[in-house]
Structure 1
Amino acid sequence: MKPAIVVRNLTKTYRVPEKTNGMLHVLTRKNKTITALNKVSFTVNEGEILGYIGPNGSGKSTTIKALTGILTPTSGEVSVLGFVPWKERYEYTKNIGVVFGQKTLLWWDIPPYECFRLYKEIYEMDEKTYEKRINYLIQLFDIKTFMHTPTRKLSLGQRMRCEVVAALIPTPKILFLDEPTIGLDVVAKQRMREAILEVNEKEHP
């Protein structure tokens, strides 16, 4: 199969102030280097699902930010769908969907369904294509009973299902998920996984 993501020696370091005791830090400021990613390499083929696991602080979110073009790495090479994410971000982001567990794609005071309509306009989808897509996703993720409720009133599990639906509206070629099941119970996690697997099997046979 054709590689969709190729990562070679991806490295990200940060320079941060080094804390010292007393007033010495005021007179002499020293910095230290923090390594968030150290020569990470992997390949993901089209249609594959990759679970990227590790303890807190191991660089999972940093990797996803580099792969989605949010962050520019210190060194290394990344190719996603033939794009260098941080160099060709405008065209690149038209081909991907992204869900961050700690950030929202929805507007708090607007029901998810109205948010979806806004994304239809952002992605310049025609009405027929949008209706077919959104009806499929509404049924698959079982959100019909609460999609007209203001986002701020939804439970975490309900909101995360709507977040994934929002990311899938434009039929992205790749979907990046950063902790999409955080805070969900076992049943909600399983439902989310099954829905995502079905989308992948249907759109990447």
Structure 2
Amino acid sequence: MTDAVTLHGYFRSGASYRVRIALNLKGIAYADAFHHLRKGEQNAPAYRAINPQGLLPALEIDGAVLTQSLAICEYLDEVHPEPALLPAEPIARAKVRAFAQVIACDTHPVQNLKVLANLRALGLDEAQINGWAAKVIEDGLDACSALIEGRSGTYCFGDSVTLADLFLVPQLVNARRFGVDLQRWPKLLEIERACLALDAFAKAAPENQPDAE
């Protein structure tokens, strides 16, 4: 067990959700430090000293501060290799990473609070902003669905949970928030149900966090 682990997050942060799942899967106990995104608490000088980007999450672990959820999850997997979140075979590892990056790099960042605030500043109304976010999410989920087309197994890449699942489930939560009709991706919904049946995912869910509103 790793001592003195602190997760800086927010219950509704999809990126924080990913890290909570990873910590739970690895059996790593951690303390929470909450920063309310809609109140701008992530921009407080004290938090900016921890993460200069002012983004969530940040993880204090092993005497270091780690940022960016994908980097954090991969670090946890390297230092606590069981259960493995990446396949051993290199091509399979690359495919899992690619799926996760569709969400982490090309989908979630384009519909996060900072981008939506910039759209408001440009004069778009809320319907246009929500439509933008929904379209970005739909494109991302189309890509994710195509990447696992024809694959069998309980989860995205077979019968073991991988990074792909850790990134998919929080993105589906965001999709619902923006009114995306998820029925067009039945396989993704099937995977989500399987994941949420696992204690590590259920405990990490936004509604189960101490700061949930």
TM-score grouping bracket, smaller chain normalisation: 0.3 to 0.5
Name the structure where strand makes up a greater proportion of residues. Answer: 1
Name the structure where helix makes up a greater proportion of residues. Answer: 2
Larger radius of gyration: 1
